[in-house]
Structure 1
Amino acid sequence: MSHKILIVDDEPNILVSLEFLMKREGYQVVTARDGQEAIEAIGREQPDLVLLDVMMPVKTGFDVCHEVRANDAYKGVIIVMLTAKGRDTDVAKGLALGANAYMTKPFSTRELVQKIHELLGDAA
């Protein structure tokens, strides 16, 4: 059974390219365009891993991460922050809120895939 990944980004080009990349790697993919959609999708789809942008409308990625970590039903969900906000304080905030990993844009797709395999325990 393949893992399910939720991709959350308000930028359509990034959403489409990440969806293509993750499907090519054999994952089931669900997408959301803002933080509120992300919370709803996590509850509905129960993804194994969430690729989460920080700067989004309605709720930020930080808000989503905080809500997910505050809900025991989602404690197994792996969160990878994927964002242009690369200052040390942003990285520290994301990790402090419970993100499993934090990658800044632009990112290497190879490194992203490698990190996802590592976090999900897949053989790369």
Structure 2
Amino acid sequence: MGKRVLLIEDEPNIVEAVRYLLTREGWAVDTHSNGATALDAVARRRPDVIVLDAMLPGRSGFDILRDLRTAPDTSAIPVLMLTARGQRRDREMAEAAGASRFMTKPFSNSDIVDCLRELGGHDAA
């Protein structure tokens, strides 16, 4: 049985590409696109791993990540933070907020699949 990933991303092309890749690898993929309601989506879906965009409408991924890390129910969920800006400051902010891993867009298909396998303890399909 595959593991569940919640992709919190507002770019439709990225959502579809990542959903396709991960579904093919045996993951159950849920998506959410609004930062303001992202924590509710996490609570409802109870993912094994979260892929979180840094820049979302309604609320920043960095703020969402800080809240995830301070809540007992979500503090241990691995989070892969995505950003379109590969600046060192973004990486430092992600690490300070508690990101498990950090990836800059655009990313390769194999990089995201390999990263989520590591984070989720998911064996290759």
TM-score (structure 1 length as normaliser): 0.94
Pairing 1:60–2:63 present: no
Task: Give the residue type in structure 1 aligned to 2:64.
Answer: V
Segments ≥4 residues shifted beyond 6 Å: none
8 Å CA contact retained: 1:53, 1:82: yes
What is the aligned length? 124
Q: What displacement does 1:85 show?
A: 2.0
Aligned AA (1:87): Q
Q: Aligned with 2:73: secondary structure?
A: helix
Structure number with greater CO (CA < 8 Å, separation at least 6) is 2
| Superposition deviation, residue 36 in structure 1 | 2.4
Structure 1, unaligned runs of 5 or more = none
Write the distance in 2 (CA, Å) between the matches of 1:3 and 1:64: 22
Structure 2 residue runs of 5 or longer lacking an equivalent are none
Q: What is the rounded CA distance, in whole Å, between the counterparts of 1:7 and 1:123 in structure 2?
A: 19
Aligned positions of 1:16-27 closer than 5 A: 16-27=16-27
Report matched runs for 1:1-124 at 5 Å.
1-124=1-124
Secondary structure in 2 matching 1:23: helix
- Maintained 8 Å contact 1:35/1:63: no
Percent identical pairs in the alignment equals 38
Q: SS in structure 2 opposite 1:74?
A: coil
**TM superposition shift of 1:56:** 1.0
Task: State the alpha-carbon separation in 2 of the partners of residues 5 and 122 from structure 1.
Answer: 11
